Chains A and B, each alone.
Chain A
Amino acid sequence: MTSQFAVWNLSWVQRRKLTGLLFVLPTVAFVTVFFIVPLLMTVFMSFHDWPLFGERAFTGLANYSELGKDRQYLKSLDFTFRYTLLVTPPIFLLGFILASLVRRNIRFIGIFRTIFFLPVVIGLGVSSLLWVWMLDDRIGVFNKILLDLNLVTKAQLFLGRPNTAMNVIILSVVWKTVGFTMILLLAGLQAIPDELYESAEVDGAGYFRKLFYITLPLMRRFIALALILSVIGSVLSFDQFYIMTRGGPRNSTISIVYWIFNNSFTYFKMGYGSAMSIVLLGILVALTGAQFYVLRERE
């Protein structure tokens, strides 16, 4: 029997290695076919003048050197990171508060969890349309309420000024996504054994001591996951700006992916769009690596 299969002749360690590889093999195959191969094609395109349709020509690194001269690209990078910095803390703070509120299995808690999670199941495109509609100065409900309560004297154009536009977009994104962060943090909270809190209480630890010495350290992996997902999602955000402001007012809300989309599908410069994407990928890999480093397991 052992002679039939070479694998049985391997040492236990070697067999563990092979088993591990086999477990991750399907995943690696999917990622290779549907991500790595298209990615390599994107890299290839980035070295070309590649119109969406028509003749293409090899241009070497021209698309990359163009990037430094593209004022909108730099502006979009700046805007995107500013947005990410502004939107991440409220999502986390509120997500953590909600997760703590719904942690225990008290009566009706399922209903509350569901309500907080509901906005997550709406697509970002549709939810952006929903908010445009609610924020409208004529048919929008927010202005109707503000006017009826005499809080304002005339309808507000929330999306009309760069600052308020940013604020209301952040509000809509927090509403839309915080339920998901809540679920992730909840998964982390549930993994912490109650005994730890009980013994800490016996030692007389207060809320904040428990938070900083038990909850947060033990949730580190889940916080890392939520943070990384949230940061990547924010850096790659597109729909909310495309639908809610069209990049306005005065082109002040063009995110980096919006600009890539514009170059690829409005100006038909696929090659240039590809070059921008590759640079963005590099930035995100570095950023994620940095987050891993900061949140790494410490002995």
Chain B
Amino acid sequence: MSFRKTLFIVLAIVICLGALPAAAQDEPIQMSMWVRSIPFQTQELVDQWNANNDSQIELTVVPSGEFVTKMGAAIAAGEPPDIASIDLIYTPAFAAAGQLVDITDFVRELPYADSLTPAHMELGMYEGRNYAVPTGVDGSFIVYNIDLFEQAGLDPDNPPSTWDGMLEAARAINDLGDDTYGYWFSMNCAGCNAFTFLPFIWASGGDVLSDDYTEATIASDPIVAEALAFYNTIWEEALVPEGASIDNGSNFVSAFGAGNIGMAGTGNFAISGYTNDFPDLNFGVFHIPGKEGGAASFGGGDVIAIPSGTEHVEEAWRFIEWTMSDEAQIEIYAANGQIPVRLELVDNPYFEGDDRQLTAASALAVGHTPYTTVYNDLFNDPNGPWLEMLQIAILDGDIDGAIELGQERFTQIMEG
């Protein structure tokens, strides 16, 4: 009885609080924004916006691994943020569930809409409508250790452009001995290998999903098996340290930083980490090549969107539009070593003469991202089919078995 009474009193108080008069009209708009913990320049964007505008944004950095959990809980409780910077691979799932505001009309007004990074724009679409625009772009490429290349008698100005070229370079660097290895991959990290291994397949003209993303082509596309065999060779010949087979991503970036690794797949986010924490590391950047040449990149990073339910759609868009302006893109993005989300702005004073940044940025022109609402189940899940297939093929050497299993489990998930 008394508990019910307490509950009644609590409820009454809550209702009274809710009935208090709403804030006066001329008070500045307060908006909340969530971003996952990635080293994009979001904090500086928000600081500059708050300094120059009436409306104020409160930024919250959410640990990457729990971003979706937190968003899901917030949506369930009716408390989502006004602006969200979301890992682009989740956008189709959010948009399909009706959790994002349709911004098609805003996007049409943008004079530079066509130069926004294509992969991010594509992922921000759902049934022909726009729900998100790029805010942090991160293409994958390969970093190589120039000093090790020179010691191994390789030409650092002409990094490999084919799989065979990479194998030869890796072998030469391995032969330097002294705990030196040609390559690094984190083979117990599902997302790392979607980011850095898928482009090997794409650059050779193949794919694991059909063009309309409705079915898996793991078994039907012969390139998939060849790419797996390529990585299997790297493993069999011990061109990677043995620990690479169990690395869950903890050393995805820092392994190369230690200086005894010749080449490693990575992304733009790592460049500032290397230059800051490993000042002695002398490294270059090249595109992820196809079997016989060509190049591809995984268009990773974040898109920015307005979750459904906010009262400040107009003001949120005003902020988003400003983040894509020349001013923000050059003076905040490029000045801090971030790649602009508008491709025509890659030619800017800050990137001039920095081959690494230019190569990294040009990777985005060939950037591609699978479009599927079940991306996470397929590729990112550490216990999902993608990583299992890679481990069986590359570490166990059972390529046929891996392909059969991958095709089966992909199809199962995609058919729901």
What residues make up the interface of A, taking CB atoms closer than 8 Å to B?
A: 25, 28-29, 32-33, 51-55, 72, 129, 132-133, 136-139, 154-155, 157, 159-160, 245-251, 254, 262, 265-268, 270
Contact = CB atoms under 8 A, between A and B. Distances in A.
B337 interface: no
Given A138-B258, A246-B248, A268 B243 contact: no
A124 to B, nearest CB: 15
A248 B243 contact: no
B94 A136 contact: no
Contacts of B6: 29
B12 interface: no
A247 B2 contact: no
Interface stretch (B53-61, B68-76, B107-115, B130-138): B68-76
Nearest to A21: B2
Contacts of A157: 242-243, 245-246
Contacts of A245: 188, 248
Contacts of A129: 250
A162 to B, nearest CB: 12
Contacts of A247: 382-383
A159 B188 CA distance: 11
Given A53-B99, A246-B248, A266-B376, A138 B381 contact: no
B94 A248 contact: no
A51 B245 contact: no
Interface of B: 2-3, 6-7, 68-69, 71-72, 75-76, 93-94, 96-99, 188-189, 241-243, 245-246, 248, 250-251, 255, 258, 376-377, 380-383, 388, 391
Contacts of B381: 262, 266-267
B203 to A, nearest CB: 28
Contacts of A29: 3, 6
Contact of B391 (A133, A139, A250): A250
Closest 10 CB pairs of A and B: A54-B97, A137-B243, A52-B72, A246-B382, A53-B97, A160-B246, A247-B383, A265-B69, A246-B248, A53-B75
A265 B68 contact: yes
B93 to A, nearest CB: 7
Nearest to B66: A265
Of B71, B72, B376, most buried by chain A (CB within 10 Å of CB) is B72
Of B241, B382, B388, B391, most buried by chain A (CB within 10 Å of CB) is B382
B387 to A, nearest CB: 8
Contacts of B98: 54
